């Protein structure tokens, strides 16, 4: 309000009003909220934050972060003024390192480890009471340069086991979950078992997945061990086939008694084109029957081919968040949702030079709940509404008993897959069963933090 009581709108607000009028008269409540509050940074912090709303529902909302950007020292001293740090601290109750826990970041040489940035994230999480997901222990990408000339069929198995025991063992008892194996399925490679022709498959064999999970269980028995995958969300022919191969992989692992507790659905979605639906819901429910949780692990919404300016992006992106998270969080075994980044200022979609990430008009994408200036976008309100509408994530005792997997999924031969008993990782202690769905550690309230400034 101005001194005369006249409502003053910024040019950006006026433009948004015009756009929304063109989209339709029935503007959703969460868009109205973004239009009235988001520009001034009000109504999104403290009890209105994603962190607070998720905690009330027994859920976890979080984001991929860049540890080196976090003002850990300021948080420890209680006087941080860094806007990015305040945003992460105030909005998320579970974190994952965008790159700091991948092989390439941790292994500067075959004989050495570098834990500086990974430790920094763990220290930050300990100060703020956030849970942490580890990403990742085994992937065909982000391998260090030395791997290609050093890893052989004779030593690759030991390299994998030693890496997992060292990394997961370092953070034993501190992790919510680990992405143990990432993106191991690719039907286009033509294998009957659907596995990707990766360096690990070539050097270790198809049982590398089992070796990785067994090693992770031995190194950190309390972490929920997760298989993480992309392009399984849609009901297109390609993604239906891939989703089916992922389900077969999960069934093989369960049938062979491999310790696995969750499956991660990355959820890199597009603002235009087909959207996820019944096929993914059925996948989530089939996972529940196997006693598996499902995590939304890397969500963002790509607008590279969407026409229109920032406001058009905001409306389309928010709609995807609303529909997708509303669908996923309604399932009782989906207790966690993370976005791949929290602000478009640091989104990989804006840093990539690939054609699938660059907008034709040269403008920046707006794929996340906060924009380049750390202001809440309509996606923020869409996420919050989806969280508020979610069912409680706990499966009541007796409602969906977990059947003995040896009876539910009989072992069956698949060409190219192991036919012997699972390999045993060295020095495995007894592994306790994973926590039941109803077990959710108390989530501390967000520490007091100043609202992010309107610009960086």
Residue 331 is a catalytic residue: no
For 73, residues 6+ apart whose C-beta sits below 8 A from its C-beta are none
What tokens were used for 186?
Answer: 């690719």
In terms of C-beta density within 10 A (0-12 exposed, 13-18 middle, 19 or more buried), how is residue 412 classed?
exposed
Query: Is the peptide bond prior to 136 cis by the omega test (within 30 degrees of 0)?
Result: yes
Selecting among 210, 233, 293, 298, the annotated active-site residue is: 298
Cross-strand bridge partners of residue 415: none
Nearest C-alpha neighbor of 346 from the set 40, 84, 83:
84
What tokens were used for 409?
Answer: 């999924």
Tokens 């941790």 label which residue?
A: 106
Could you write out the DSSP letters of every residue in 245-309?
Answer: HHHHHHHHHHHTT----EEEE--EEESSS----HHHHHHHHHHHHTT-EEEEEEEEEE-TT--S-
Selecting among 183, 293, 311, 331, the annotated active-site residue is: 183
Residues 232-236: contacts with CB within 8 Å, 24+ apart? 232/265, 232/280, 232/283, 233/265, 233/267, 233/269, 233/276, 233/280, 233/324, 234/274, 234/275, 234/276, 234/277, 234/279, 234/280, 235/274, 235/276, 235/277, 235/278, 235/279, 235/280, 236/274
- Evaluate whether 267 touches 298 at the Cβ level (below 8 Å): yes
Cα distance between residue 300 and residue 341, in whole Å: 8
For 380, residues 6+ apart whose C-beta sits below 8 A from its C-beta are 34, 38, 44, 50, 369, 370
Q: Per-residue b/e over 5-37, b at no fewer than 16 CB within 10 Å?
A: eeeeeeeebeebeebbeebeeeebebbebbbeb
Nearest C-alpha neighbor of 357 from the set 344, 369, 370:
344
Q: How many CB atoms lie within 10 A of CB 453?
A: 13
Torsion angles phi and psi, residue 430, rounded to 5: -60, 135
Torsion angles phi and psi, residue 262, rounded to 5: -160, 160
* Secondary structure of residue 161 in the 3-state scheme: helix
Residue 183 is a catalytic residue: yes
Catalytic residues, by residue number, are 183, 298
């Amino acid at each position: 309000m101005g001194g005369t009581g006249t409502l003053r709108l910024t040019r950006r607000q006026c433009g948004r009003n015009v756009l929304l009028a063109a989209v339709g008269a029935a503007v959703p409540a969460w868009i109205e909220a973004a239009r009235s509050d988001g520009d001034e940074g009000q109504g999104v912090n403290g009890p209105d934050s994603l962190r607070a709303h998720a905690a009330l529902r027994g859920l976890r909302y979080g984001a991929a972060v860049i540890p080196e950007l976090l003002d850990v020292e300021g948080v420890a001293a209680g006087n941080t003024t860094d806007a990015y740090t305040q945003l992460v601290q105030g909005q998320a109750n579970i974190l994952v390192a965008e790159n700091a826990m991948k092989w390439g970041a941790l292994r500067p040489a075959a004989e050495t480890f570098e834990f500086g940035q990974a430790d920094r994230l763990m220290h930050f999480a300990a100060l703020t009471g956030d849970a942490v997901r580890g990403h990742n222990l085994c992937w065909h990408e982000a391998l260090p340069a030395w791997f290609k000339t050093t890893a052989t069929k004779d030593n690759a198995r030991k390299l994998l086991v030693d890496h997992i025991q060292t990394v997961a063992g370092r953070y034993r008892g501190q992790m919510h979950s680990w992405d143990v194996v990432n993106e191991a399925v690719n039907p286009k490679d033509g294998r009957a078992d659907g596995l990707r022709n990766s360096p690990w498959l070539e050097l270790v064999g198809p049982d590398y997945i089992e070796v990785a999970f067994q090693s992770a269980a031995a190194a950190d028995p309390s972490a929920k061990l997760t298989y993480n995958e992309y392009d399984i969300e849609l009901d297109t022919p390609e993604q239906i086939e891939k989703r089916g191969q992922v389900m077969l992989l999960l069934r093989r692992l369960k049938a062979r008694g491999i310790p696995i507790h969750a499956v991660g659905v990355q959820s890199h979605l597009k603002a235009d084109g087909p959207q996820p639906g019944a096929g993914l819901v059925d996948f989530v429910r089939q996972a529940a029957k196997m006693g598996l949780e499902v995590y939304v692990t890397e969500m963002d919404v790509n607008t590279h081919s969407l026409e229109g300016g920032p406001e058009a992006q905001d409306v389309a992106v928010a709609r995807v968040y609303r529909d997708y998270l509303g669908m996923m969080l309604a399932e009782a075994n989906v207790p966690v949702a993370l976005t791949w980044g929290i602000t478009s200022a640091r989104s990989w979609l804006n840093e990539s030079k690939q054609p699938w990430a660059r907008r034709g008009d040269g403008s920046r994408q707006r794929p996340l709940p906060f924009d380049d200036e750390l202001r809440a976008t309509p996606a923020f309100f869409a996420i919050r509404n989806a969280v508020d509408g979610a069912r409680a994530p706990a499966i009541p005792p007796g409602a969906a008993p977990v059947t003995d997997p040896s009876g539910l999924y009989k072992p069956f031969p698949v060409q190219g897959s192991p036919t012997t008993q699972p390999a045993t990782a060295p020095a495995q202690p007894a592994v306790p069963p994973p926590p039941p769905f109803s077990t959710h550690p108390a989530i501390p309230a967000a520490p007091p933090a100043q609202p992010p400034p309107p610009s960086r």
